[in-house]
Amino acid sequence: MTVPAGPAPRRPERLPFFVYGTLRPGEPHHDALLRGRTGAEEPARLTGAVLYAGPGYPYAVEEPGGTVHGDLVTARPEAYDELLRALDRLEEYTPGDPRSLYERVARDVVRTGDGATVRAWVYVAAPPVTARLRARGRLIEGGDWRTR
């Protein structure tokens, strides 16, 4: 007897990425992961989140009233799937894994240049990490990793 296969895993929507730390232009992971894979990189901000310094890298934590500054990165279509996998690995994100450091969530971000709101993937601190950061982390005032 053949057991019918369940539904195929859903592919994530092809949204741009909001990056706010070591993936921003000029930061250490930008060249290794983003150079040559993007069609556009534009300054942007995420509202409803604050930024904490982690061990060598930042974590965005969702919190009403806060703002995180970063860049909206649009992947080249032919590089999208590979870039998504690379970013998930970097951020130690695995869908459904409670050990993930980050969660990849869709949020509205605002492009600084024209004020347009764009839906984007954002890696935010996973709940266990958020609790540790709020208890012992260092809040980055102003929400900009570059001014830490």
pLDDT digits (tens, 9 = 90+) for 33-84: 999 999 999 999 999 999 999 877 899 999 999 999 999 999 999 999 999 9
Q: What is the pLDDT of residues 27-40, one digit of tens each?
A: 999 999 999 999 99
Tokens of 145: 């990793």
pLDDT computed for residue 48 by the predictor:
97
In this prediction, residue 82 carries a pLDDT of: 95
Q: Is 101 helix (H, G, I), strand (E, B) or coil?
A: coil
Q: CA torsion sign, 46 to 51 to 54 to 57?
A: positive
Q: Cα 147–88–140 angle (5° rounding)?
A: 20
Say what the pTM is: 0.89
DSSP state of 76: -
User: Could you give the 3-state DSSP secondary structure of residue 11?
Assistant: coil
